[in-house]
Chain A
């Protein structure tokens, strides 16, 4: 080896460069003369050459015909489930396959290294080139964020199986210090082994990651309701009962024992964390506007009204609705309308009281419109349910509920009217007549978007005669019970119907009609046994996975909140009907009470910021704010997520805390992050960013726990704060002692769900004001690391 290339010869370039400055020329000679003479270990040079030649055997690829003629590498001998996986894994193995040169360094590679979006149910496999000192490797192994895992070995491969799924949308760093990466001969790695990767934002199909079964839902009793009361949700996630029975002021609740109290009057009741509040007269239908700001209700006698969430500002839009008519919102952001039946005809009324008969369905006698899809394009037509006795109420009759949550239609419904026979009530009445003669049984009818096109009946196979389909909150899907399970059809699309197979019923058992959540991704139904005991079930439509169950008694009236975070239902107990609400784990992405349109805007903002999508930002951010936002926005972002979001009292403004991250790399094995605060302002039914602040540049994430999401859910008499972390927690550190609340509040109940890495803080009592909740640094992950700083979040009792 020639390492003595030094010379003191002249350098014309240098002479020209220093411009005849003899001092600098002399300095150049001094520098050359003083060049360090490196120490070279000839064994190192030989060893490195051997390593390179071994690697070259598999890495250098012949081209053209020679590629085809070359004997196949042994990579395929390793095999794997998929060809791509097999090749990647085998290439890594072949690269570092043991060979005769025992002087090579220990090397470890992982096929997921550098990948930004692996599935959270991925295991981490590290392939070594030598038989390893397994205990040394396992002792030195460090994973950030911390996870509980099981290490197993397959020859020279270490397989790290997380106990729970990896946290979605999270960067991970796996490190084995150089000296811990030791083989059985005592040789170590030339440097620390570092593997970096990120997880995809979407939770895997099995949310628990392991076959641990469905989550048990816990219902919170909101209050007693009159027979046949319907349920709904306000835009802030609070439960509504069409015929709630509030105890008299200062009295005991009905059925609670003690002296008999006067029967309370049914009313439209809103249940929030500060208890139930009467917000209006009883109603038989409730429909939440798409933006979540207004309620449309149908009360007696045939009154369609629209109000704010607290029941105020309740103009009557129409007094001509059929009793028990279904109700739905339609129109668009600038011209919303409410659909209902009037004289058996599908009718719309806008907020300026302009009433219009949208479509007249020529139905056979005894048939009626049972449901109207949000948007008004589709209706469910079927036999009018047999009238059932209505429990007398002191002030207003309330129709009874069907097992699936649908309402019976008391009295004879005058459907079958001739074309053009619109209702007489209301002003500006016009008619677009659409003839349709249905056949017996339940049908889903496409009204062609309200235009004067022929109505087309959809007759999905298996639609049972007595099934009452229900629509998703966005009107895009419809579900019904057939002979073998639940069918879910995407309306107006080409997707095949999904099918959730249900177990055959035992004699006397019954399924309720299914209800879909806002997007139709999940369906809820109940199985009721002959003795009245029942089980609520929540199922993911895509793969029929049972997500959650709850033990209830004679359930009915199932309904999802608009953000999918809560499930409301009625059940029988102690001689009365009680409204319950259960929080669904993994429900809303941000916070309860945040309008869906605001949630979508926040999500789109984060996506656009990470992608640097200027066009999308133009559409989302107010022009006056965008310049500063762009100036503060770091470049090279890898991902972002919404930690928390909270609406203002009237819902017009939503503030959100966003975290923006740059993933770690092998050269910089620490994630960098910055936090952004945004305020979104409502503009019609959309939200735009009216304020944004990113006070700090990207900086390294501290070691230890990170909060990734905070969701506050006001439940009746209870406020639940769910705080999700990126790390597996040490369960023994999850106590009420690590939670600080203002004085005057009761000691909270604190629980930990390991599968979702979520601490739930339940605070009992009526909450009337916002307050700060602080998590102390005493909370630890499974590696004993705590929060770098105490974490404080503001808890609002809801709007």
Chain B
């Protein structure tokens, strides 16, 4: 999944001049970025708009990109976070819980799919209700499996601050899902 760092560094340098290299970066990272954007917006139309915006911004700015020790994807996520924030500022997206999950796997039974869909809807609706920074940090961690350092780079925060955001976010989700801590149950 992850490109070898040396290869990626060379690819990014070539992409500053060579459309084909940029195309290769696009092919590699499109899925990641689209998924992240979709997980935050939950709308195919909005996700397509923002994903297109992210890659056009990356194309315009790649000449100024300087490696920071993090994968190139961290930079794309950073652009995505900003674009999503702008999108929310401009217009809060409509939340349609019925379309949260999208296409169910054909290999699962209908019952399984419905059950999973309900569960996912509840869980991600809880994440949606978190404050913006907690939501972003949690999505990048649990939705994208990124390292804390990468999330910090993307969000412009320290690793400690990211830990705090994720921890608070999980507490918030737990509260919203109605899970009572064991200590309270005793």
What is A's interface to B at a CB cutoff of 8 Å? 1-3, 5, 7, 11, 13-14, 17-18, 23-24, 27-28, 30-41, 44-45, 48-49, 51-53, 55-57, 59-63, 66, 105, 190-191, 667-668
The interface residues of chain A lying within 8 Å CB-to-CB of B32 are 5
Which partner residue on chain A sits nearest B169 by CB separation? A31
Q: Distance in Å from the Cβ of B167 to the closest Cβ of chain A?
A: 6
Q: Distance in Å from the Cβ of B81 to the closest Cβ of chain A?
A: 14
Can you list 15 A-B pairs with a CB-CB distance of less than 8 A? A5-B1, A5-B35, A5-B145, A18-B167, A31-B124, A32-B142, A37-B101, A38-B39, A38-B102, A49-B23, A49-B30, A55-B56, A60-B22, A61-B63, A667-B90
Q: How many residues of B contact A (CB 8 A)?
A: 61
Bound-state CA distance A704–B22 (Å) is 45
Pick the residue among B35, B49, B52, B60 that contacts A3 (CB under 8 A): B35
The interface residues of chain A lying within 8 Å CB-to-CB of B142 are 14, 28, 31-32, 35
Most chain A CB neighbours (cut-off 10 Å) among B60, B141, B147, B177: B141
Closest 3 CB pairs of A and B: A56-B19, A38-B38, A34-B120
Given A17-B163, A30-B123, A56-B22: A39 touches B49 (CB 8 Å cut-off): no
Which partner residue on chain A sits nearest B116 by CB separation? A34
**B166 touches A (CB below 8 Å):** yes
Given A23-B182, A31-B173: A37 touches B48 (CB 8 Å cut-off): no
Contact of A27 with B174 in the complex, beta carbons under 8 Å? yes
The interface residues of chain A lying within 8 Å CB-to-CB of B171 are 24
Which partner residue on chain B sits nearest A192 by CB separation? B90
**B80 touches A (CB below 8 Å):** no
The interface residues of chain A lying within 8 Å CB-to-CB of B119 are 30, 33-34
Bound-state CA distance A105–B173 (Å) is 38
Contact of B170 with A60 in the complex, beta carbons under 8 Å? no
Contact of B31 with A2 in the complex, beta carbons under 8 Å? yes
Pick the residue among A36, A190, A667 that contacts B100 (CB under 8 A): A36
Contact of B17 with A1 in the complex, beta carbons under 8 Å? no
Bound-state CA distance A32–B144 (Å) is 9
Bound-state CA distance A61–B141 (Å) is 36
Given A31-B142, A39-B103, A52-B23: A23 touches B16 (CB 8 Å cut-off): no
**B76 touches A (CB below 8 Å):** no
Bound-state CA distance A52–B60 (Å) is 10
Which partner residue on chain A sits nearest B46 by CB separation? A191
Contact of B55 with A52 in the complex, beta carbons under 8 Å? yes
Given A13-B147, A18-B170, A35-B142: A57 touches B124 (CB 8 Å cut-off): no
Given A41-B48, A191-B49, A668-B90: A17 touches B166 (CB 8 Å cut-off): yes
The interface residues of chain A lying within 8 Å CB-to-CB of B63 are 60-61
Binary interface profile of B, 89-125, with partner A (CB < 8 Å = 1, else 0)? 1100000000011110000000000001001100110
What is B's interface to A at a CB cutoff of 8 Å? 1, 15-19, 22-23, 26-27, 30-32, 34-35, 38-39, 42, 44, 47-49, 51-52, 55-56, 59-60, 62-63, 86, 89-90, 100-103, 116, 119-120, 123-124, 127, 138, 141-143, 145, 147-148, 163, 166-167, 170-171, 173-174, 177, 179, 181-182
Mostly, the B contact residues are helix
Bound-state CA distance A691–B170 (Å) is 51
Bound-state CA distance A45–B35 (Å) is 12
Pick the residue among A5, A49, A60, A667 that contacts B27 (CB under 8 A): A49
Bound-state CA distance A35–B44 (Å) is 15
Most chain B CB neighbours (cut-off 10 Å) among A56, A61, A667: A56
Bound-state CA distance A24–B59 (Å) is 40
Which partner residue on chain A sits nearest B23 by CB separation? A53
Contact of A60 with B17 in the complex, beta carbons under 8 Å? yes
Contact of A23 with B174 in the complex, beta carbons under 8 Å? yes
Which partner residue on chain A sits nearest B182 by CB separation? A23
Which partner residue on chain A sits nearest B142 by CB separation? A31
Pick the residue among B17, B30, B167 that contacts A66 (CB under 8 A): B17
Q: Distance in Å from the Cβ of A190 to the closest Cβ of chain B?
A: 5
Bound-state CA distance A49–B30 (Å) is 10
Contact of A63 with B17 in the complex, beta carbons under 8 Å? yes
Given A17-B163, A23-B182, A52-B59: A62 touches B17 (CB 8 Å cut-off): yes
Contact of A60 with B16 in the complex, beta carbons under 8 Å? yes
Bound-state CA distance A11–B142 (Å) is 10
Pick the residue among A13, A34, A41, A44 that contacts B124 (CB under 8 A): A34
The interface residues of chain B lying within 8 Å CB-to-CB of A49 are 23, 26-27, 30
The interface residues of chain A lying within 8 Å CB-to-CB of B145 are 5, 7, 11
